[in-house]
Copies of this chain bind each other. A is one copy, B any other.
Amino acid sequence: MQVEIITIGDEVLTGHTLNTNAAFIAEKLTDIGLEVQFVTTTGDALAQMEEAIRMALKRARIVITTGGLGPTEDDQTKKAIVKVFKRNLIFHENILQDMKDRFARRGIEMPAINQNQALLPQGAVFFPNKGGSAVGICISEEGRTFIALPGVPREMMQIMTDEVIPYLQGLEVGHPHKTIKLRTTGVVESRLAEMIDQDLNLEPGVKLAFLPAYSGVDLRIMAAADDEQRASEKTLTLERYLESKVGKYIYGKNEDTLESVVGQLLVDNDKTLAVAESCTGGQLGMLITAVPGASRYFLGGLVSYSNDSKTQHLGVDPDLLEKHGAVSEECAVAMAHGCRERFAADYALSITGIAGPDGGTEDKPVGVAFIGISSIHASYARRFNFGVSREANRARATYAALELLRRDILDIK
């Protein structure tokens, strides 16, 4: 079943705003077995919007737009709908009342301008919006389904997840279908492909995609079949094969993140963690504490950006720094060890590296990092060679540190 997405807004068109809405919607649709064929972005001008909607309705059976449903002059999506579908706008008293109630709960009087959000195309059905005043609009005509959603990401996501996806599933327009994402880290895409490709024999209807990111490479399995159960079986077969080949790199599935998986391991083992960071400047601590409830296991961290602070706050021996340099295996070990002691933590991780763009040498070019770990059992560090950009080097070092801890806890060699 072919689907098209249209995102509306000058800000996306001029490149100021990234099109995260289209990515979110596409992923949700792909997950239920719908095939997105085109994503079009258009500005706030009525004529372009109309053209984009007409074009999409010619090619696809389902068309979803986001943006342009707000109360102000810029918001012209309803005008485009009226023109394309030749419908009148009808006033909905109950929708107006809902809006007034919403404003009242926040202790604000509803601005008069919001009244026009209760004017909606004749013969449409509506998806309620829990977080704002623009409801989702759904029109069915000539075997096609047209859905208009607001452009505020939080509101769009809520309506998409709670309303649109169940609605489309009810229409039974998707192929029977199953998707699973296996999340790997600590291995590059080409090496992963080498390990997997030999003997790989994909069943008909099964696709495997390699999706690289700073956090690692995701393996996405998509299986289509005549029914859901058969699709699940096909997925499971490939999943087991992948686990047999590259299982030690797989840290989680689907919505799992490395930081949440490592956090759960710490909780399960009743252990605490502290971190010492140099080139990442706090990114590791930030990632760990992106998980709600991280205070159950995360005690804190030390960002030792200067040599002095490595000595003073982590107890790194000045002679060691003199002899081996701050970017060295020895320094990483000393940082982790000192950090664990000072925070009285069960585990400590350390990162010291050359993030770039300057500071590289022949021996230790930009992208080199040493990542250390210390526990009651042992303290050690590993050398990594990441990319060339400051951003990539910092992000990769952050994930590599978490992976070092995961492997240490699970005793993966």
Contacts and interface: CB of A to CB of B under 8 A. Distances in A.
Interface residues of A, number: 74
Contacts of A28: 15
Nearest to A289: B281
A320 B276 CA distance: 27
A84 interface: no
A244 interface: no
Q: Which of A12, A15, A41 has the most CB of B within 10 A?
A: A15
A101 interface: no
Contacts of A281: 282, 285-286, 288-290, 294, 298, 301
A99 B151 CA distance: 44
A284 interface: yes
A30 B18 contact: no
Nearest to A389: B154
A265 to B, nearest CB: 18
B293 A286 contact: no
A23 B30 contact: no
Contacts of A292: 356-358, 390
A36 B220 CA distance: 33
A242 interface: no
Interface string A1-30: 000000000111111111110111111111
Contacts of A37: 13, 42-43, 48
A251 interface: no
Contacts of A389: 154
A301 B13 CA distance: 40
A54 to B, nearest CB: 12
Interface stretch (A134-142, A169-177, A302-310, A403-411): A302-310
Nearest to A42: B38
B293 A282 contact: no
Given A13-B39, A282-B301, 17 more contacts: A11-B209, A11-B211, A14-B30, A15-B27, A16-B27, A16-B218, A18-B19, A38-B40, A38-B41, A39-B40, A40-B41, A279-B289, A281-B294, A282-B282, A286-B286, A299-B308, A299-B309
